[in-house]
Amino acid sequence: MIIAYDPEHAIAIITAVGYDVWKRSIMKQARCRALPADRLAASTVCPPEGEATDIAMADSRDRLKSGLRAGIQRGLRSFIWICKIIVPVSLLTTLLQWTGWLDRLTFLFNPLMNLINLPPEAALPIISGMLTNIYVAIATMAAIPFTMEQMTLIAIFALICHNLITEGIIQHKSGINVTKTTLIRLAAAILTVLVVSQFLGDTGKSVAPPSTVTDPGPVLSVVRDWAIGLIVLLFRILGIVMAVMILLQMSESLGWTERLVRAFRPLMRVLGLSEKSAPLWVTSAVFGLMFGGAVTIDRARKGELSRQELERLHISIGLNHGMIEDTALFLALGLNPFWLLVPKLITAMIATQVSRAVHHIREKLPL
């Protein structure tokens, strides 16, 4: 009879965590104190004063420890998975750049440069960024006397379409075909730059680059620099992946994931994504695609997202990721943050909404 009197107290002690546990425990103690002395003494639901809070805190500590252990394990697995991709691919692209093939391929992109209102010289930083990373693109941009408007367009292209080999493989492993995501990023970069160029005046005027943009040096020196840079990058990746995995796992253990989903629910709707995509989108948008891809593949293995939800997520984060670090790098060149952030976010939103509409139409059409 005592249990039937107020059963939610017992449930709260066992299941609630954090602030909810504390609040519910206080309410329970107040109700227990209101019971007659004889019923309170015989009650198995109402523990002595303060014991309910102790039980809740012990339960929270157990959940935190469990989440910490699981987060460390998943973080290490994700880090090893990333290393298997980054190490060989980055070495290959570094050697490709050292041979000078990137410079020889620029003439193939002259028609594309004309299409997006950029001079032929812009092909070099764009190709460098596409095959390697944003750092190389910025280094190349800094060596060629582009105007501020031209650098803005190159930066927009590079922010959307960079490191296609490594990031393409990561996205392929975590839920979307590498060819598909590469074509989407290329098309999105071209269309976005084409539209933005209409607001920046004449950006197609040719510039005169130096006769030698970079001196690659001997191959051993290049490999040594690559190894040093890679070690630094891998330590950064390890730190971020471990922190993200531990945070996500502890959030799940403490019941905070649902609150995060609710907080980002309006934005997810605007972006054309499911509510369950919120933690994964935030990770990629803030930390970058390599880090977000590791978290995404972990969730994909658990079957938390459908195939269509996963594809739309990859389209969105493929076009719009690393919003803090990548943007900050281009700000060092004196570029306007509005053009670095807003166009690619709008492009990602349109692309995911189009993907969603196409899928809906396919479902409605008879086979």
Per residue in 206-217, pLDDT (tens digit) is: 876 544 445 567
Please check whether residues 92 and 231 belong to one and the same domain.
yes
Q: Which amino acid, residue 264?
A: F
Residue 55 lies in a domain: no
Position 22 confidence tier, pLDDT thresholds 50, 70, 90 = very low
Residue 192 lies in a domain: yes
Please check whether residues 84 and 39 belong to one and the same domain.
no
Q: In the predicted model, what is the mean pLDDT of residues 8-27?
A: 41
Please check whether residues 235 and 284 belong to one and the same domain.
yes
Q: Report helix, strand or coil for 327.
A: helix
Position 192 confidence tier, pLDDT thresholds 50, 70, 90 = very high
Please check whether residues 38 and 78 belong to one and the same domain.
no
Please check whether residues 213 and 340 belong to one and the same domain.
yes
Residue 59 lies in a domain: no
- How many domains does the structure of the chain reveal? 2
In angstroms, the CA 339 to CA 149 distance is 10
Domain range for 42:
2-49
Predicted confidence (pLDDT) per residue in 254-288, tens digit: 777 667 667 777 888 888 898 888 888 887 887 77
Predicted confidence (pLDDT) per residue in 132-173, tens digit: 788 778 877 876 788 999 999 999 999 999 989 888 888 888
Residue 236 lies in a domain: yes
Please check whether residues 75 and 32 belong to one and the same domain.
no
Please check whether residues 271 and 226 belong to one and the same domain.
yes
Residue 141 lies in a domain: yes
Q: And the tokens for 128?
A: 């460098």
Residue 257 lies in a domain: yes
Please check whether residues 102 and 36 belong to one and the same domain.
no
Judged on CB neighbours under 10 Å (0-12, 13-18, 19+), 357 is exposed
pTM for the whole structure: 0.67
In angstroms, the CA 190 to CA 161 distance is 9
Residue 230 lies in a domain: yes
Please check whether residues 33 and 103 belong to one and the same domain.
no
Residue 61 lies in a domain: no
Please check whether residues 6 and 82 belong to one and the same domain.
no
Please check whether residues 39 and 75 belong to one and the same domain.
no
For residue 88, CA distances in Å to 167, 292, 293 come to 13, 20, 18
In angstroms, the CA 76 to CA 131 distance is 27
Please check whether residues 17 and 111 belong to one and the same domain.
no
In angstroms, the CA 188 to CA 344 distance is 8
Predicted confidence (pLDDT) per residue in 83-128, tens digit: 776 778 677 767 776 877 766 766 777 888 999 999 988 988 898 8
